[in-house]
Structure 1
Amino acid sequence: MSTTTAPSAAQAAPTPPAPPRVETPFQRFVSEFAASRLALAGLAVFTTIVLIAVLAPWIAPQNPYDLAQLDIMDSRLEPGSVGGAGFTHWLGTDDQGRDMLSGIMYGLRISLIVGAGSAVIACMVGASLGMLAAYAGGRTDSAIMRLVDLQLSFPAILAALMILAVLGKGVLNVVIALVLVEWAYYARTVRGTALVERRREYIEAAQCLALPTRRVIFRHLLPNCLPPLIVVGTMQVARAIALEATLSFLGLGVPITEPSLGLLIANGYEYMLSGKYWISFYPGIALLVTIVSINLVGDHLRDVLNPRLKR
C-alpha cells in the first residue's frame, strides 16, 4: 500500500511577483531621449564637434593663428595639395596660406565659445529678470516686460551690429553684443512659466514660512522653470553661433588674426567665382552641421520636456 506525502508549506506557497521597476526621472528622461535616432545622431555629431574643437591644438596639422606658420606661397592650394611645410592640405588653403582643415578646427573653438558663453550669460540675466518680474508683479513686472518688448522689437542682427559698431571687434565684444540681444528671450520664457508656478501650493507654503525672497525664487521657483529654459537655451546656442558667423562675415565680429567659421567663409567669398570654392565651402559645411546637430537635440528636448506634447 503506497502513501503520499503532503507538500510542504514552502513548496505549496506561490512565488510572490517581483515588484515593478520604478524609473527615476533621470532614467525616464534618458529612455525617452534615446527613443529618437535623429536626436542621438545630432548629439553624437555635436559631441564629436566639441571634441575636435577642444583637441584642436593637438590634432590640427597647423596653428592657423600663428603667423610664423603661414606661408603666402601656399595660398589658395587645392584640396589634397602638399604645401611647403611638407604636409597635405586635405581641404586646401585660403588666400593667406592657412590650412583650411586647421582653420575649421580652430574656428569651431571660437564659434562654440562665443555661442555657449553668450547663451549661458544671457540665460542667467534673462532668467533672473523673468523670475523677478513674475514673482514681484505690479510695476516691477510691467517695467521689465516693457524692456523685453523694446528689446524684441529690434531685429537681433541689427541690434548686434549697432552694439559692435560702438564696442568694436573682439571675441569679448561679440559675447557682450549677443548677450544684450538674447537675454529677452529667456526673460519672456521664464516669466511665462514662473507665473504658473508661483500660484502652486509649495510657493504659498514658502511665503507663509516667511522665507527670504531670494531663497523662494532660486531654491523653489527656478528648479521648476528649468525644462523650458533648457530647451530655449539649446536653441539659443545655435542661434548665437549663427549670429556670430553673420557678424564675422560682415566684418564686425572676431579679429582677422583669430578667424571663426563666419570669417573663414567671408575670406573665400570673393574667390567663389574664380573656382576657389573650398575656401568658403568647407567652413560653411562645418557651420551648417554644427547648427543642425544642435537643433536636432533641441527639438527632441522640447518634445521630451514639454508634458503637453506628450499628451
Structure 2
Amino acid sequence: MKSRLVNSPSNAEIAELAQSPPRRIGPAMIRYLSSPTAAIGALGLILVVGIALFAPWLSPQNPYDLSQLDILDGRLSPGSESMAGVPYYLGTDGQGRDILSGIMYGLRTSLMVGISSALVAAFFGTTIGLLAAYVGGRIESLIMRLVDLQLSFPTILMALMILAILGNGVTNVVIAIIIAEWATYARTARATGLVEREKEFIEAARCLRLPARRILLKHLLPNCLAPIIVIATMQVARAIGLEATLSFLGLGASVTEPSLGMLISNGYQYLLSGLYWISFFPGIALLVTIVSINLVGDRLRDVLNPRNAR
C-alpha cells in the first residue's frame, strides 16, 4: 500500500505567509467618531493643543518676561484692569503675572513633558519588550525580572527618588518619568509579542531566514502597536498629572519655568486669603487637559481592540 506524500510548501507560499496581515484603519476611525464622548474629548484635546502651540500669539503678555510685569498689578481679581488699563480676565498672581497668559504658557510645558516622556518611554520599553519576546530564554527571563523589579515601586516614589538625585527642572522631570514608566511598555510589548511570535507569518519569515531586525520591525512591531498606542495616550495624561504633582511639591519645574503644576503651587499660599483664582483656573485647565486625553485614550482602547470590531 502506497503512503501518501505531503507536498512541502514552495518558497512563494512561504513568502506569502511571511507577509504580516495589514491593519485596517478606516473602520476604526469610523467607530471612533461614532462616540459623542470621544468626539468631545477629541475637540477638547485639539483646543488645548492649539492654545499651547499658539500661546505666544494668543496670550496678552509673556508672564515670564520681567519687563512686562508690574508688582503693583499683583493679586488683581478676575475682570480687573492694570494701572495701564490692560484687562486681566482671570486675574493676576502675587507677582503681577496674568493668569490667562500663565495657563497658555503652562500648557506648552505640561504637554511637552507628557508627550516627550510618553514617546521616549514607549520607544525604549517597546524595543526591550519585543526583543525579549523574540529572543526568549535567559535574556527574556533577565529582562522580565528587571521589569518586575521596576514595577514593584510606585511611579511617584520612583520619580521622587530620581529627582532627589538629578534636582529640579523640566528636563529632569521628563527623565524621571521615562525611567519610571518604560517597564509598562516593555511588559505589554512582550506579552503581545509572545502571541504574535507563534503565528504562521512569523514562522514563515524565519523559514526564509529574514534578518531578526526585519522581522521585529516589519512583522512583530506593526501587530503590537495597538495596545502600545493606547498605553502611550493614557501615559501622556498620567505624565501631565505627575508633573503637576511634583511641581506642586516643589520638586518639578523651577519657578522660572511655566507649568500648570507650578501655577497651582504659586496660588496655594493665597487660598486661605480668599484669592482662589490663582490656583483655581490653572486647576481647571489641568482638569480639562487630563480628562480630554483620557476620553481619547478610552475610546482608542475600545476601537483598537479586535474583539470589538464587527
> Which residue does 2:296 correspond to in 1?
297
1:190-209 equivalence runs, <5 A: 190-209=189-208
1:170-185 equivalence runs, <5 A: 170-185=169-184
**Cα shift at 1:86:** 2.7
Aligned: 1:126 with 2:100: no
Task: Give ranges in structure 1 of 5+ residues lacking alignment.
Answer: 1-23
Work out the CA distance in 2 between the residues paired with 1:164 and 1:309: 41
1:214-293 equivalence runs, <5 A: 214-293=213-292
Work out the CA distance in 1 between the residues paired with 2:83 and 2:153: 49
Work out the CA distance in 2 between the residues paired with 1:270 and 1:229: 40
Counterpart residue type for residue 240 of structure 1: A
Encode CA deviations 1:157-181: one digit per residue, 9 max, x unaligned: 1110110111111121111111000
Work out the CA distance in 1 between the residues paired with 2:193 and 2:58: 46
1:45-194 equivalence runs, <5 A: 45-194=44-193
Task: Give ranges in structure 2 of 5+ residues lacking alignment.
Answer: 1-22
Work out the CA distance in 2 between the residues paired with 1:142 and 1:67: 55
Counterpart residue type for residue 195 of structure 2: V
Work out the CA distance in 1 between the residues paired with 2:120 and 2:82: 42
Counterpart residue type for residue 137 of structure 1: G
**Cα shift at 1:258:** 1.5
Q: Give the greater-gyration-radius structure (CA).
A: 1
**Cα shift at 1:310:** 4.6
**Cα shift at 1:308:** 2.6
Number of equivalenced pairs: 288
Which moves more between the two structures, 91-100 or 301-310?
301-310
**Cα shift at 1:207:** 0.8
What is the aligned-residue RMSD (CA, Å)?
A: 1.1
Work out the CA distance in 2 between the residues paired with 1:64 and 1:173: 23
Partner SS state of residue 268, structure 1 = helix
Encode CA deviations 1:115-134: one digit per residue, 9 max, x unaligned: 00000000000000000111
- Percent identity between matched residues is 66
Work out the CA distance in 2 between the residues paired with 1:214 and 1:35: 38
**Cα shift at 1:309:** 4.0
Q: Which has the higher contact order (CA 8 A, sep 6+)?
A: 2
Work out the CA distance in 2 between the residues paired with 1:173 and 1:272: 29
Is the CA contact 2:88–2:98 (under 8 Å) kept in the aligned structure 1? yes
Encode CA deviations 1:247-277: one digit per residue, 9 max, x unaligned: 1111111110112000100110111111000
Work out the CA distance in 1 between the residues paired with 2:201 and 2:30: 29
Partner SS state of residue 168, structure 2 = coil
Is the CA contact 2:170–2:257 (under 8 Å) kept in the aligned structure 1? no
Work out the CA distance in 1 between the residues paired with 2:87 and 2:125: 47
Work out the CA distance in 2 between the residues paired with 1:254 and 1:86: 32
TM-score (structure 1 length as normaliser): 0.91
**Cα shift at 1:71:** 1.1
> Which residue does 1:15 correspond to in 2?
none
Work out the CA distance in 1 between the residues paired with 2:55 and 2:85: 19
